[in-house]
Amino acid sequence: MCRLCDPGKLEFLCPTSFDAARAEAQANAAGTVLSANAAAQAAAAASLPKGIGDAGRKTLIKGGIVFSVDDKVGNFAVGDVLLEGAKITAVGPSIEASGAAVLDATGKIVMPGFVDTHHHQFETALRSQLANGILINDGRPESAQNYYETVLQKFSNAYRPEDVYINELFGSLAQLDAGVTTVMDVSQIHHSPEHSDAAIEGIRDAGRRSVFGYFEGRGDAAKYPVDAKRIRDQYFASGDQLMTMVMGGEIYIPGYEEAWRIGRELDMPIALHVVGTFGMQPTFDELGATGMFGPDNIFIHMTGMSDAGWKYAADAGAHISLSVPIEMQMRHGTPPLQKVIDLGISFSLSTDVECTMTADFFTQMRSFVTLQRMEANTKALAGEKYPRLVTARDAIRAATMGGATGLKLDHKIGSLTPGKEADLILLDADALNVTPLNNAPGAVVTLMERSNVDASSSPAR
């Protein structure tokens, strides 16, 4: 049986040993994966109540600081979350649940897991390789090392299917360890059907909720985009499973129209990078003018785009995925944070490429807050009218419900709402770096890091 199909019990995967994690991932049947940081791993495993996560088994997460990210449910300085199998059944200040396995969350913040709407996991082995690089070769001295030529046209061409598998599995486990319970994996590595299968198997074996982004590949053996139907039928026939699929439709690739046609024929969202510095603005605006955009579109970055392009995206109900640190670092252009806020467009945060920047979500949230406030504060200091300053709560919402909405999973995840699935994290609020805890959401966004992730869960289907 595979992780895509079967519910099962909670299993611990230790991220400190890749070989052990890989063997564990391959050996275990489907189930909720609960990953704790290495320092807390042994203690957390020893303290788990017997039967936690078993199908039909009630689990009471008791006495934590609860951020539901659901205004109707509310937040609690001391609260409980009741699960039954993989579902949240109740959230409140004090829940009685006879016969439930009890998980003591004293000193922990209990909240939805982070949702990453754009991460190139196949590049995990290239971490920091392009720390000083930029996006494309624009002829300036510092652009000799750039993402398009160095990573996509050089390193990725050396990947075998087994390399893809290892990168996808390890990248997934590393993010789960950092509290990111859902990802849209943008895998531009489909050099052959075997590469595609390896990417899916690596993501699947990690046991995390994932959206497989079927983007392009290179070489004579590449079957993108026509292999999409085979992949969909083989791996994603059911809409009620842990993994779903998105079609990549990059408009800088000749023949992108076929990818859009196939994606919509198969009823999949269409995702693409949109970067003005990459020369995409004319094509993008033209597509918008002809009515090609829809609520099934996920536009990544949207830096340097025209007001007309923004209007087309907003009117169509498209979703915007922002990778703020990467956009600032790699010369994509200024992240359009205020633009999405002002237009009221659905947006989320994403990590992009670990060859340049960390894939943890504390960095994403801090960057979101500090950049927006920097721009607003600059106007305030100049005596100009300025927008509302975003808050830590805004950042948490963007990192959870924002991503769930963008991936069309908000009916399942993104908040601690009864009826949704138990994709949640426990953050250590007693750790030295956040003590004393004076402002819980502020501590999450301004003080915490991946070492504060005590546990994260992603229930399988």
C-alpha gyration radius of the chain: 21
- Do residues 324 and 371 lie in contact, with contact meaning Cβ atoms separated by under 8 Å? yes
Cβ proximity of 76 and 109 under 8 Å = no
Rounded Cα gap, residues 425 and 399, in angstroms: 13
Res. 55 pLDDT band, cuts 50 70 90: confident
Helix (H) or strand (E) holding 79: strand 76-84
Residue 295 confidence (pLDDT) above 90: yes
Worst-scoring range by mean pLDDT, 13-17, 293-297, 312-316, 381-385?
Answer: 13-17
Enumerate residues 6+ apart whose C-beta is below 8 A from 355. 123, 126, 127, 128, 129, 130, 131, 133, 147, 151
Min mean pLDDT across 47-61, 81-95, 221-235, 445-459 is at: 47-61
Indicate the average pLDDT of the chain. Answer: 90
Residue range 46-53: mean pLDDT, rounded:
65
- Cβ atoms of 355 and 130 within 8 Å: the answer is yes
Chain-centroid distance, C-alpha 448: 18
Can you give the residue ranges of every domain in the chain?
11-113+414-458, 114-406
What's the one-letter identity of residue 92?
A: G
DSSP 149: I
The answer to whether 417 touches 331, Cβ cutoff 8 Å, is: no
**Distant-in-sequence, close-in-space partners of 430: CB < 8 Å, separation ≥ 6:** 107, 437
pLDDT in tens, 238-267: 878 999 999 999 999 999 999 999 999 999
Distances (CA, A) of 152 to 1, 122, 145, 184, 455: 35, 11, 12, 19, 34
Q: Looking at the predicted structure, is the pLDDT value of residue 46 above 70?
A: no
SS3 content of the chain, % helix, strand, coil (to 5): 35, 20, 40
Average pLDDT on 290-313 reads: 97
Residue 192 and residue 216 in contact, taking contact as beta carbons nearer than 8 Å? no
Q: 193-206 and 18-27 helices cross at what angle (nearest 10)? A: 90
Look at residue 461 and tell me whether its pLDDT is greater than 70: no
The CA distance from 202 to 21, in Å, is 12
What would the mean pLDDT of 124-136 be, rounded to a whole number? 96
Whether the per-residue pLDDT at 83 is higher than 60: the answer is: yes
Is residue 22 very low, low, confident or very high in pLDDT (cuts 50, 70, 90)?
very low
pLDDT in the model for residue 456? 73
Q: Quick one: pLDDT band at residue 28, thresholds 50, 70, 90?
A: very low
Angular region, 414: left φ>0, alpha ψ -120 to 50, beta rest: left
Give residue-wise pLDDT tens across range 170-223. 999 999 999 999 999 999 999 999 999 999 999 999 999 999 999 999 999 999
**Closest to 226 (Cα-Cα) out of 265, 168, 273:** 265
Provide mean pLDDT across the span 358-369. 97
CA–chain centroid gap for 173, Å, is: 13
Residue 29 has pLDDT above 50, yes or no: no
pLDDT at residue 354 greater than cutoff 60: yes
Q: How confident is the model at residue 18 (pLDDT cuts 50, 70, 90)?
A: very low
Q: What is the DSSP letter of 94?
A: S
Q: Which residue has the higher pLDDT, 141 or 19?
A: 141
Which listed CATH number (3.40.50.11540, 3.30.450.20, 3.20.20.140, 3.40.190.10) goes with 114-406?
Answer: 3.20.20.140
User: Is the confidence at residue 54, as pLDDT, over 80?
Assistant: no
Rounded CA separation 164/201 (Å): 9
The arithmetic mean of pLDDT across residues 62-70, rounded, is 98
Task: Taking residues 58-63, report their average pLDDT.
Answer: 96
Q: Which CATH superfamily is domain 11-113+414-458 in?
A: Urease, subunit C, domain 1 (2.30.40.10)
Is the previous residue joined to 282 through a cis bond, with omega within 30 degrees of 0?
Answer: no
User: What pLDDT, on a 0 to 100 scale, did the predictor assign at position 239?
Assistant: 76
Q: What pLDDT is attached to residue 43? A: 57
Residue 315 has pLDDT above 60, yes or no: yes
Interatomic CA distance for residues 44 and 422, integer angstroms: 18
